[in-house]
Amino acid sequence: MKIAVTYENGQVFQHFGHTEQFKVYDVADGKIVSAAVIGSDGSGHEALAGLLRDRRIDVLICGGIGGGAQAALAEQGIELCAGASGDADAAVEAYLRGELVNTGANCDHHHGEDHDCHGCPGGCHQQLQGKNAGKRVRVHYRGTFNDGTQFDSSYDRGEPLEFICGAGQMIRGFDAAVADLDVGQAVDVHLPPAEAYGEIDPSAIFTVALVQLPGAEALEAGQRVYLQNQFGQPFPVTVKAKTDQVITFDANHEMAGK
């Protein structure tokens, strides 16, 4: 098993997308057998997730991390333990003892201009309870909107979805629905936006002058594109509207409010 920790001067670095180093630990029989510090070789969640994949990392321990980064890690099958702080070696030891849990500490992009890392007050990412929490599970599912229209299905892909239950790889409501299921059990679950991709945030809709975005004049309403924030990190947006002078983007998740 290999565990990577966002790293700076012996501590867990708190901003995944900005980390310049990882400390990588080789673990056997529940104990650390070796460790080495490596450079991040780039920035942005997709580049970092790819680096961890290439290094065959099984678990990432970090401080703050955004939704896009969590999705990128999940695609690579990397277990996430976010919200850690303090001594990096101690954090790994705590994880191996089962004492370190994923808090879902989050990093949000606002208008493509600012970066704010924070925990979630009010327990929006409480530790998941259930017999499957922390276990690798394989689940077949079919997702529909309230009107019955299907938007996704593992059956259509011909293989179940595999993930670590409660590790922050899935939306909260999906994790909770699986937490106590038995093998072979099927359930119908209705998830409100708060348990899925969140409500629509009006502040995530913003307008930019076309002259500030060379090439944006070719974009059309409805297109899904990537912008960069001031740190050079990419984040997805949807073109909401465009005039001869300005273009309006929506940085809400495509499934927000649904």
Residue 232's pLDDT band (cuts 50, 70, 90): low
Going by their DSSP bridges, the two strands 224-228 and 31-39 should be labelled as: unpaired
**CA 177 to chain CA centroid, nearest Å:** 19
Known active-site residue 171: yes
How far apart are the C-alpha atoms of 196 and 170, rounded to whole Å? 9
pLDDT at 59: 92
- Name the residue among 51, 253, 107 with its Cα closest to residue 171: 253
Known active-site residue 152: yes
**What is the longest distance spanned by two Cα atoms in the chain?**
63
pLDDT in tens, 29-46: 889 999 999 988 765 566
List the structure tokens of 9: 């001067």
List the structure tokens of 222: 């409805």
Catalytic residue of the set 58, 89, 141, 201: 141
Q: Which residue has the higher pLDDT, 192 or 84?
A: 192
pLDDT in tens, 66-124: 767 777 888 888 888 887 878 899 889 988 887 776 755 445 433 333 333 333 333 33
Mean of all residue pLDDT scores within the chain: 82
Q: Is 184 exposed, middle or buried (0-12, 13-18, 19+ CB in 10 A)?
A: exposed
- Collapsed DSSP state (helix, strand, coil) of residue 210: helix
Catalytic residue of the set 26, 41, 54, 152: 152
Catalytic residue of the set 13, 25, 197, 235: 197
Residue 231's pLDDT band (cuts 50, 70, 90): low
**pLDDT higher than threshold 50 for residue 6:** yes
Q: What is the pTM of this model?
A: 0.49
- Name the residue among 180, 172, 73, 171 with its Cα closest to residue 126: 172
Catalytic residue of the set 151, 155, 226, 231: 151
Domains and CATH numbers, the chain: 2-118 (3.30.420.130), 136-191 (3.10.50.40), 202-250 (2.40.10.330)
Query: How many other C-beta atoms are found inside a 10 Å radius of the C-beta of residue 242?
Result: 18
- DSSP for residue 65: B
**pLDDT higher than threshold 90 for residue 3:** yes
Known active-site residue 197: yes
pLDDT at 142: 95
Q: What residues does 117 pair with on adjacent strands?
A: 107
Catalytic residue of the set 206, 247, 249, 250: 206
